[in-house]
Homo-oligomer: A and B are copies of this chain.
């Protein structure tokens, strides 16, 4: 019951975040093709953020599905995650309207890092409520995706001041890691991890 309302509230906030981003696609004054062109970069940012928020919703959904008990700290860790997610429409529009200028690209990455950290805190708090043998803890496994994502974002931030393409590719790579069906990527990543360990 308690969990149900936490999910419902989070769903509401995430649904609004993902949808109000479209309000930043300002309606162009003319009805010609040239009027659409300046919107291209905002549109591309919108796609990327739509996917990113979709990934967060998806993961949040699985995480809470597995949760049995909602404590006060879980509740506030969830609020903390929603806070950084709520800044996505702002950083998305800022990056898009300034055609991928260095600082906005770095700030976009910074918000992604903060979302990832907030998610990690939430996950850790939920894990603490579960025994090590619970199916949830086992399903999470090594959580390679969760660990690699903030690192790739963090690398992307300083690179924004060198070449924003590198940051862009890093951000998109993280999205792909999460979009590709779990098992294959998990296996690929864990093999790499094993090799690294072998060396």
Contacts and interface: CB of A to CB of B under 8 A. Distances in A.
Interface of A: 1-2, 5, 7-9, 11-20, 22-25, 27-33, 36, 47, 50-51, 54, 57-58, 61, 65, 72-73, 75-76, 79, 82-83, 86-87, 89-90, 93-94, 97-98, 101-104, 107, 179, 181-182
Given A11-B12, A16-B20, A73-B181, 12 more contacts: A5-B11, A9-B11, A9-B15, A12-B15, A12-B16, A13-B15, A18-B82, A20-B23, A23-B23, A31-B104, A32-B103, A58-B75
Contacts of A8: 7-8, 11
Nearest to A70: B61
A61 B5 contact: yes
A57 B76 CA distance: 11
A16 B89 CA distance: 14
A67 B186 CA distance: 28
A180 to B, nearest CB: 10
Contact of A27 (B14, B90, B182): B90
A126 to B, nearest CB: 16
